[in-house]
Structure 1
Amino acid sequence: MVVSVNDSEHLTQPIGMEESADPPFEETYKDLILSSFSSKSRKNILELSAVEECELPLIDLNQLNHLGESERQQCKKQIAEASREWGFFQVIHHGISCEVLERMREEQVKLFRKPFQEKMNYSDINFSTGSYRWGTPSATCLKQISWSEAFHVSLSDVLGLGGHTSLSSIMEQYAVLVSELSHKLMDILAEEMGQNSCFFKETCLPKTCYLRLNRYPACPIYPQVFGIMPHTDSDFITVLHQDNVGGLQLVRNGKWFAVKPNPQALIINIGDLFQAWSNGMYKSVEHRVVANPVVERFSAAYFFCPSVETVVESGADEPRVYRSFSFGEYRKQVQEDVKVFGYKIGLSRFLKHNL
């Protein structure tokens, strides 16, 4: 989990020098970097980075538009199977044009090219206070540092603004389309497990969902740190558009695999809430982003979230794996664990047998 940094004591800069767009990672984490540069720590991180490449299941959503019922049912079964077996899959013909995706990335790149101080105080698009985040202030070792920056934006901040800037215009267009895609996928996954999808229409609203624009600057101390440290997502599902740089890795059958990038596809992954709601049928899988020593990486993630008051309870028959809990309760527990331990513990806190 990446949280915002408010301490700006390290942001002083020699007069006459152009301000960098990069957050001051090396200055901020100088003590951790110096104390952790031993041969043992380098070996451990290198072993984590040397993983095999895999291709995620690729699903053509055009099949859902076929006149034949068998083609539509086959597509739905592919989506459910990938969610059970992988927790990740990628989709093409998803309803978001290449033009929209390209414009989104262009505006995102321009936003992150702004000087660091300007990003810290960015307000051109009415972003809420604290939308800009970077690094990991709670880190106690190099493995807990996320070498990345992001704008984490509520959809309520971008929808209905009328497109006052080129960035707000494309963000609004993209948000509407990716929200429609998310609801379509949730309908299918709920149907495949014999449940009613009305729950998601009622609880996952624009004001409760988020867009996260990510940038992973080139990392001079690679492979000592991650772009984003290993974690699972806390939402129902996440929709990710990434460039062709690569760096996303996930766990499958107890091993880490590097995801082969496909800029034409969107990546879908199951979040913790959906694993709990499905009684463990669909899997929320641990994943991370590996830093790159030379090339920066961009991605845009859409988090399909309910309101904090929403109670997540499996509709499946007994035995139920997880106890009932609200999204607010879950987020609070995650935040407390990150503060105490430096990392997220997640769903294991809410197993029914722990009561």
Structure 2
Amino acid sequence: MHETLFSEKLIDKIKEKKSYICIGLDPNFEGKKSIPNFLLRKHNNNHNAAILEFNKQIIDSTHKLTPIYKPQIAFYEKYNAQNALEHTIDYIHKKNCLAILDAKRNDIGNTSKAYKNNIFGTLNADATTLNAYLGIDSIKPFIQDKGKGVFILVKTSNQSSGDFQDKYLVSGMLMNVLNHNIELDNIENGGIIKKSENGVLSLKFTKNLLKMINEQDSIVKSGELELFNTNYIAMARLVHSWGKSTQPAFKTKYPYTNVGAVVGATYPEQLKVIRHEIPNSIILIPGYGAQGGTAKDIIHGFNEDGFGAIINSSRGINYAYVKEIKGQKYSETEYGEAATASACLMRNSINQVLKEANLI
């Protein structure tokens, strides 16, 4: 009997709960959307204790509605509440759910191994988020354990994500052509440059230009040569490659790898493109609710089998008590009930959209 993959565990729980939502656990004591003050008073200003009680109530109120939670490590570090984080993950497991530690680590060598040992060992998270700017060296330690998963930042939900992620880079295929000493600027009888739906620039060959390239060369695909692609597409292709490299030799329960991607709900068109690039990866979709993403925005994150994506909401569920939900108002002592109502509304909205698209 083989070790159950993280992707298998996640999809099993999605099917069990009939839910694709991921609930972030982001403790905060400042501003309107925050942990109720009475909890801090109750614990004599002990942030660690207040956070743990708050998290347990949120989990108690929502664990039947979600397969997975996502604590963001920065908030626990901010309040020196690592103990609350460790016990929160343990409590998530006791409630038959999984935990993604949102840490976005990015380093190499022994440092990367140390991060991995803390996240998957000490804290016992089931998965984590990673920034893969340093390449495979920063990812390797995290993908050795078949029972654990990673979600690589590909196209993030923030407004300035395009500063780097949307920039074009010269494709490897174009570099191969340049190495063949083909003059791409001399193509008046050779081909035309066009832009595809996903923003990739390519050169459409005519017969004259095709004669310049060996027909057996792998750089030619269906008479077109990709010239440039965006950084987020390049990262998505790495995610696909890394995921495939980790797949075991035996047949798995589902066609998904343990290497997933983070793609914001705030960029639905890019989500559609990335889904095509990574058919075997699960996409973690943040940006739902508070950042403006809607149920209809996330539809392109799913495959035809009705799987392939989980949608995260943090503040919208954690601090739902500050808003009116379907005409119902809540007091700060009813933050658990409000979280239940908000999570239920999110789950039902997403499921309805998927049903309308014949995906479930």
TM-score tier by shorter-chain length is under 0.3
TM-score scaled by structure 2? 0.24
TM-score scaled by structure 1? 0.24
Highest CA radius of gyration, 1 or 2?
2
